[in-house]
Amino acid sequence: MAKPENEYEQHIERGTERVVDQVLRFPEQDLPIGTRKLTQAEQLERYREMRDDPQAWEAFMEEYGMGAALEYAEKMEKRDGDTD
């Protein structure tokens, strides 16, 4: 790949490479992803797994955008506080 011209492009390139690597590692599935609705407990478990993972947040924001990521974090933090 060509050398990025600035720091912003470096972040985009790095993020793109990570997403491509993750997609290539997906196993073949009989059912499409997202065909089973997760329970609230499962949703909270997945959130807790990604909460302190900057790479997971970067991937989430790349897919859904910053606004959606903030809304999701706020919703899940509230849900997490309600279950403790």
Q: What is the pLDDT of residue 49?
A: 92
Q: What is the pLDDT of residue 6?
A: 78
Q: What is the pLDDT of residue 31?
A: 63
Q: What is the pLDDT of residue 45?
A: 92
Q: What is the pLDDT of residue 71?
A: 93
- Residue numbers of the chain with a pLDDT score lower than 50: none
DSSP state of 84: -
Is residue 79 packed enough to be buried (19+ CB in 10 Å), middle (13-18) or exposed (0-12)?
Answer: middle
Is residue 43 packed enough to be buried (19+ CB in 10 Å), middle (13-18) or exposed (0-12)?
Answer: middle
pTM summary value: 0.53
Is residue 39 a contact partner of residue 31, using CB atoms and an 8 Å limit? no
